[in-house]
Amino acid sequence: MQRGPVSAGADVRLAAQLDHVPGEDMWLATIAGYVDTLGFVALFGLLTAHVTGNFILIGSELGGAGNGLLIKWLAFPAFIVGIVGARMLDNGLLAHGPGIRSCALYVLQTALLAGYMVAGVLAAPITDAHAPLTLACGLLGACAMGVQNAHGRLVVRSVIPNTVMTGNVTQAAIDIFDLLFSRCDPQQRYVTRARLSRTLPPVAGFAIGAAAGAAGYLRASFWALLVPLAALSVLAVLSRKTGAAQAAI
C-alpha cells in the first residue's frame, strides 16, 4: 500500500525520535562549537573539534604568521587516538543496544574533557605554546572531540554531523531552495521539511556554542568547560534511558 505524504514525513520524524535523545543534535553541536572556540581562544588558535581546520593554521604558521605549531601538529594523532579509543570501547559493547553504547561513549568523552579542563587549570595562565601542560591540555581536548566525531558513525542512529557545519549549511540551503522554488511532490516536500527541521537547530547550536565558549573562557578560564561537562553527563544518562525505552518497544 502506498503511503501518503503526511505519513512519509511522520515516519522521518518518528525514526529520529526513537533512536536518540530529543534535541541531541543541537546539544552536541553546541558542545562542539563551545569547546572548539574555547580552545581556539585559549590555545593559540587550536581547533579541537574541526581538527582539519588546523591545516590552514599550520600553513600560516609555516609562513611565519602565528604561534603554536607543535600543538596543532600533535592534535592530529591525539584526535585519531580519540577515534580509536571510541572504536575499541564500542567494539567491546556490540552485544548491547545503542543506548548503552552511546552512554559509554559519552562517559569516555566526559572523562577526556575533564582531563582537558584540569590540565588547562593547572597550566593557566598559558603563555608558552610548547609547555608540557599546554600540550597536554590541547591533546586531551582533541582526543575528547575525536570521540564525539566517532560517536555518530559508530552507534547506528539518526544523529546528524554536529562538529562541522559546512555540510549541514549546504543541505539546509538546498532544502530551503527546494521548498521555495522547486516543484516537489507533496511527499518529497514533507520529507524535505522534516530534514530541514533537524538540520537548522545544530547550525544554530554551533553558533551559540561558539559565542558562549569564547565568553566562558574570558570570564572563567578553563573552568568554563564545566558547562559542556554537565551537558555530556546529562546526555549520557538520557541516552541510556532512551535506549532502554526503545528496547522495551
Residue 100, C-beta contacts closer than 8 angstroms, at least 6 positions apart: 93, 240, 243
Transcribe 40-84 into DSSP letters.
HHHTTT--SSSGGGHHHHHHHHHTT--S-HHHHHHHHHHHHHHHH
- Across the chain, what does the average pLDDT equal? 87
Residue 144, C-beta contacts closer than 8 angstroms, at least 6 positions apart: 35, 48, 82, 109, 112, 113, 115, 116
Report the pLDDT value the prediction gives residue 93, as an integer from 0 to 100: 93
Q: Contact, 78 vs 143, CB < 8 A?
A: yes
Report the pLDDT value the prediction gives residue 246, as an integer from 0 to 100: 57
pLDDT digits (tens, 9 = 90+) for 122-155: 999 999 999 999 999 999 999 999 999 999 888 8
CA distance 200 to 115: 31
Question: What are the distances in angstroms from CA 28 to CA 36, 88, 147, 154, 199?
Answer: 12, 21, 12, 15, 13
pTM for the model stands at 0.87
Residue 43, C-beta contacts closer than 8 angstroms, at least 6 positions apart: 68, 71, 126, 129, 134, 137, 138, 141
- The DSSP secondary-structure symbol of 93 reads T
CATH 1.20.1250 correct for 20-248: yes
Q: Where are the alpha helices (DSSP H) in 124-225?
A: 132-154, 166-181, 186-220
Statement: residue 157 has pLDDT above 60:
yes
Residue 242, C-beta contacts closer than 8 angstroms, at least 6 positions apart: 19, 20, 21, 99
The amino acid present at 212, given as its one-letter code, is A
pLDDT digits (tens, 9 = 90+) for 190-235: 889 988 998 999 999 999 999 999 999 999 999 999 999 999 999 9
Report the pLDDT value the prediction gives residue 39, as an integer from 0 to 100: 95
